[in-house]
């Protein structure tokens, strides 16, 4: 068995968690390699322990059985694109504040020894194919594990939206933006904007307005096979931006459309513990 370890050095300072995991895994007879999930910022002053040889992520994933990420949900979202390209499941170790997608906390790394015995399951998470068009021409494509978000620019002007499912109008509203999310993303920005919490293994498309200027504007939970289109009205001098899973924003113009549909690809997350989704919600968001 071969496992790629991918620490976020801004979260896992000195790679303490990654190196501890490496010792546990190698002690269980598992082959490991170390890869950074992204290129470091130019001029970065991060210091790494001596003797660490960082290898190329894509090359290592070609021959890997699993990817272990050390960081927050953002680290997992970033790593998912590479892991999914090679059909490699991901196990997250939470080094952040919330970490809904992470399976282990830093103090639970001894549980990794269970991997050699096959005492784990792999959970499939639905993803969304995202496409933006301008005057009938495709200007952007990506795949989302969490969400696709359209928001207004810095100028405090609202955006007009028409939202359709299979080309049938669901709602018109004006507001600061709209979130189109998966069940995995339901506990992220969508929840903060008033959207529902949906079990992450469900397969639905969730539509959540952001600060809508309409009493009737509410979240919608649609079936997995709907094709959802968010069409913007005339923006005039306003600006709008599309971001997928918190990535680099793409500028949109008046009349542009963003279409989402269920992707054929799935993210595969490794489960080692018996914690239920409800336990995680209670722990991460607080009870009572």
**Residues acting as catalytic residues:** 73
Cα–Cα distance for residue pair 226/167, rounded to 1 Å:
10
Radius of gyration of the CA atoms of the chain, in A: 20
Sort strands 240-244 and 31-34 into parallel, antiparallel or unpaired. Answer: unpaired
Residue 184 DSSP symbol: G
User: Whose structure tokens read 């939206």?
Assistant: 161
Q: What is the DSSP letter of 12?
A: S
Give 86-122 as a DSSP string.
TT--EEEEE-SS--SS-SEEGGGGGGGGGGGGT--EE
b/e code 248-260 from CB counts within 10 Å (16+ = b): eebebebebbbbb
| Pairing mode, strands 228-232 and 257-271 | antiparallel
């Amino acid at each position: 068995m071969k496992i790629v370890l991918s620490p976020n050095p801004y979260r896992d300072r000195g790679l303490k968690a990654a190196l501890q995991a490496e010792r546990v895994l190698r002690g269980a007879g598992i082959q490991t390699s170390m890869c950074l999930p992204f290129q470091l910022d130019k001029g970065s002053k991060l210091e790494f322990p001596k003797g660490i040889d960082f290898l190329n992520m894509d090359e290592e994933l070609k021959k890997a059985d699993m990817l272990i990420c050390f960081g927050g949900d953002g680290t997992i979202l970033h790593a998912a694109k590479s892991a999914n390209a090679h059909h490699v499941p991901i196990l997250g170790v939470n080094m952040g504040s919330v970490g809904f997608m992470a399976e282990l906390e830093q103090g639970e790394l001894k549980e990794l020894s269970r991997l050699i015995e096959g005492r784990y399951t792999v959970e499939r998470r639905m993803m969304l194919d995202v496409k933006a068009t301008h005057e009938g021409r495709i200007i952007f494509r990506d795949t989302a594990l969490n969400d696709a978000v359209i928001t207004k620019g810095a100028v405090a002007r609202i955006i007009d939206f028409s939202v359709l499912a299979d080309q049938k109008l669901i709602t018109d509203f004006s507001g600061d933006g709209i979130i189109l999310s998966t069940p995995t993303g339901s506990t992220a920005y969508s929840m903060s904007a008033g959207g529902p919490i949906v079990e992450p293994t469900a397969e639905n498309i969730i539509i959540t307005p952001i600060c809508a200027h309409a009493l009737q504007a509410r979240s919608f939970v649609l079936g997995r096979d709907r094709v959802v289109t968010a069409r913007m009205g005339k923006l005039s001098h306003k600006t709008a931006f599309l971001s997928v899973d918190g990535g680099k924003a793409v500028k949109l113009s008046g009349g542009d459309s963003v279409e989402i549909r269920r992707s054929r690809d799935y993210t595969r997350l490794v489960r080692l513990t018996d914690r239920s989704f409800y336990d995680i919600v209670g722990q991460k968001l607080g009870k009572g």
